[in-house]
Amino acid sequence: MTDSYTVTNPFDNSVLSSHLYDSWDVVEAKLQLLKSGQKTQKKFTAFERSDILRNLAGLLSDNAEELAKLITLETGKTISDSRVEMSRAVNAAKSSSEEARQISGECLDSDAFPPARGKIGISLWKPLGTILCITPFNFPINIAMHKIGPAFAAGNAILFKASPVNTQSSMLFTQLCYQAGIPEDVLQFAMPADKDLNKLNSHDLVDGINFTGGTNAANAISAVSGYKKLLLELGGNDPLIVLPDGDIEAAVNASINQRLATAGQRCTAAKRIFLHEDIYDAFRDLLLEKTQKLVVGDPMKEDTFIGPVISKKAAESIQYFIEDAIFHGATVTAGNKFDGAIVYPTILENLSVDCLLMKEEVFGPVLPLTKFNDIEEIIPIINNSPYGLQAGVFTQNLAIARTLFEELDVGTLACNDGPGFRTEHFPFGGVKQSGAGREGIKYAIREMSYLKTLVI
């Protein structure tokens, strides 16, 4: 008997839908269909793939409001935030369309080393085959587009596995992909039960896995995937650093927008805020003033800035991290208030480097403030984390920015912006347990391809 699951609204706990997990026989049949779809992909030209992806961008734009409402119902993300997600998904589709026409290799002359044999090597990027694209709950359409767009542009077939809470929005997205012109034997949506995930990740008909999510799930994928090519975008405990010559108001706004939006449930959220002692009080006071004006509650209301986290269980986990910080000496300046799955914005001061908030990733609207005198003090504190995704610094001092760029264990340092900065055509990814490989449309295409060389 196939297991079933229910999707509920995290704000009011109302039941949105009920579904059956796909049986293993159904999943295998979809993989077999996608194997045949690899031949379908070979018949497409680059410009045809590009045109399909451009069509998809238009359809996403036309259906943006319906999808945004589904995202808000399923995840508790505010409607304004869901609309921003849809605009980014449209951009990702457009970027995928453009990059589909730009995939190129290189030509090499064999006479670079003796003996020169009068040969030329022509290297081209070729699709891996079938890519398993696994997406998380927090950006269900945008992250799906960042995976499926480049996977399709590269010429792969795609098995799309979303978070169960995003079933409705993901199924609508899949239908729009078909409407845009992606054939059904090239893209399939599947929702296997948890007990079948290891079999899926290790399946011979899966040639690559593109996963965004938590470290534990990534470890499970890595343990069974063998020699498959993996693109893993995982968590972060991203620092935001503010120096005396930085724009304090801009830094406060970045802290709010990049930590409290999506109720703090972003891998690139500003999760640790380091403030130079000269501007500490001014920053804290302005942050407190602005934070207290934010509307918390119903995510469907236009003026709500912070809705619920994904579940009451998630809220309880956030509360545990706050209590641990308090146990280690932190003081609560604002917040530490809970109502079901709603976590009110919480500002903490006087944090110990030993508390979990300073080392682990916390998916919630928590702003831990740390005072420092010299950047050399905070570099080892920042690096004392299993993660290394992105960082942000507000300063006009290029020498300091260069020092942080060289010394911090991160994939990206954003100057005069927060660690949440991302745009579709930049490389995106981290070091250590923040993942392997790089997203960003052009770079994801290469991660889901391999180089093949013709010698003539």
Residue-wise pLDDT tens digits, 358-394: 999 999 999 999 999 999 999 999 999 999 999 999 9
Asked, as a colleague might, if the bond just before 427 is cis with ω within 30 of 0, I would say: no
Closest CA to 74 of 180, 152, 171: 171
What's the CA gap between 84 and 313, in Å, rounded? 26
pLDDT score at 80:
98
Architecture of the domain defined by 239-423: 3-Layer(aba) Sandwich (3.40)
What's the CA gap between 176 and 178, in Å, rounded? 5
Q: Known catalytic residue: 99?
A: no
Q: Which two tokens stand for residue 99?
A: 């990059």
- pLDDT for 269 beyond 70: yes
- pLDDT for 181 beyond 70: yes
Residue 319, Ramachandran bin (φ over 0: left; ψ between -120 and 50: alpha; else beta): alpha
Strand, coil or helix: 14: coil
What's the CA gap between 104 and 449, in Å, rounded? 12
User: Mean pLDDT over residues 21-38, rounded?
Assistant: 98
In terms of C-beta density within 10 A (0-12 exposed, 13-18 middle, 19 or more buried), how is residue 218 classed?
Answer: buried
Neighbours of 404 (CB within 10 A): 23
pLDDT score at 114:
87
What's the CA gap between 250 and 241, in Å, rounded? 12
What's the CA gap between 167 and 171, in Å, rounded? 6
CATH number of 4-234+434-455: 3.40.605.10
Residue-wise pLDDT tens digits, 290-314: 999 999 999 999 999 999 999 999 9
pLDDT score at 24:
98
- pLDDT for 277 beyond 70: yes
Q: Which two tokens stand for residue 178?
A: 């078909």
Q: Could you tell me the strand order of the sheet in which 435-436 lies? A: 187-189, 157-161, 130-134, 208-212, 229-233, 435-436
Rounded CA Rg of the chain: 23
Tell me the one-letter amino acid at 32: Q
Helix (H) or strand (E) holding 5: strand 4-8
- pLDDT for 1 beyond 60: no
Proportion of the chain above pLDDT 70, given as a percent? 100
User: Mean pLDDT over residues 13-21, rounded?
Assistant: 97
Domains 4-234+434-455 and 239-423 share a fold: no
Strand segments (E) across 35-112: 106-109
Of 113-117, 186-190, 393-397, the range with the lowest mean pLDDT is 113-117
Please identify which of the residues 233, 361, 424, 447 carries the catalytic annotation.
233
pLDDT score at 2:
66
pLDDT score at 158:
99
Asked, as a colleague might, if the bond just before 115 is cis with ω within 30 of 0, I would say: yes
Q: What is the mean pLDDT of the chain?
A: 97
- pLDDT for 246 beyond 90: yes
Q: Would you list the domain boundaries of the chain?
A: 4-234+434-455, 239-423
User: Mean pLDDT over residues 162-168, rounded?
Assistant: 98
Q: How many CA atoms lie within 13 A of 198 on its CB side?
A: 5
**The whole model's pTM is what?**
0.96
Helix axes 46-62, 140-153, angle to 10 degrees: 160
Q: Which two tokens stand for residue 293?
A: 């004006």
Strand, coil or helix: 178: helix
Q: What is the DSSP letter of 166?
A: G
Neighbours of 269 (CB within 10 A): 32
